């Protein structure tokens, strides 16, 4: 009985640690700055032929799992794709087919797309936004439970100055991915 109580107590501590919410910061609303939508490690940065920049951020089980709007703008679209699988989130090619929510946020620099991607252990993504809602960078957009991935597509990459690199740790709204020139 003593070990069961200890195990339950340790599990409760893990849940409290896992569901911790970072201290919010007040940031000036500027549509030219793009912040990290998640706390985690940048797994991949790819410039695409369609003048977009694709960044993948892996969230380990010890990272904060709330996501934040990377830019200020208007939510033009919000979809939940529940037809996917639950592959390991750090395996980029396999996990692209995972269950996910897809935000499209529009501002003067174009349409930014943010994917909240479920991982192997995850079975739930909570989204907080609504289509037509005006959002500011740094506001909470949702949470993915346990290990997962967040991808962002940045439009007009020829006018965007990237300030991060692969394998760099990012701390959500505290990390500036880059800005428009």
The confidence score (pLDDT) of residue 82 equals 79
Q: Is the pTM of this model over 0.95?
A: no
119: in domain = yes
How far, in Å, are 46, 48, 105, 163, 172 from residue 155 at the CA level? 12, 10, 11, 16, 20
Q: What is the DSSP letter of 22?
A: P
Between 145 and 38, the more confident residue is: 38
10: in domain = no
13: in domain = no
Between 65 and 72, the more confident residue is: 72
Q: Which residues form the domain of 73?
A: 31-180
The confidence score (pLDDT) of residue 178 equals 95
Structurally, how many domains does the chain consist of?
1
16: in domain = no
96: in domain = yes
Residue 46 dihedral angles phi and psi, to the nearest 5°: -135, 130
83: in domain = yes
23: in domain = no
Angle at 26 between CA 69 and CA 150, to 5 degrees: 20
CA gap 155, 110 in Å, rounded: 6
Asked about 106 being catalytic, the answer comes back as no
Residue of 101, 148, 157, 175 marked catalytic: 148
Q: Residue 115 maps to which CATH number? A: 2.70.70
146: in domain = yes
Instruction: Say if CB 45 and CB 55 are below 8 A apart.
Output: yes
Place of tokens 């949702």: 142
The confidence score (pLDDT) of residue 45 equals 97
Express each pLDDT in 22-64 by its tens digit: 766 656 668 899 999 999 999 999 999 999 999 999 988 788 8
């Amino acid at each position: 009985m003593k070990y069961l109580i200890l195990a339950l107590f340790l599990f409760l501590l893990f849940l409290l640690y896992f569901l911790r919410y970072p201290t919010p910061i007040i940031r000036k609303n500027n549509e030219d700055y793009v912040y990290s939508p998640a706390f985690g490690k940048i797994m991949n940065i790819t410039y695409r032929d369609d003048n977009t920049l694709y960044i993948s951020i892996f969230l380990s089980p010890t990272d904060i799992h709330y996501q934040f709007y990377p830019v200020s703008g208007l939510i033009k679209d919000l979809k939940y794709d529940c037809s996917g699988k639950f592959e390991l989130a750090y395996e980029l090619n396999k996990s692209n087919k995972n269950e996910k929510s897809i935000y499209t946020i529009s501002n003067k620099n174009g349409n930014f797309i943010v994917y909240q991607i479920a991982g192997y252990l995850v079975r739930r993504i909570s989204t907080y936004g609504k289509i037509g809602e005006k959002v500011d960078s740094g506001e909470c957009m949702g949470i993915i439970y346990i290990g997962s991935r967040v991808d962002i597509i940045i439009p007009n990459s020829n006018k965007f100055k990237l300030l991060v690199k692969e394998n760099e740790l990012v701390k959500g709204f505290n990390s500036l991915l880059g800005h428009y020139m």
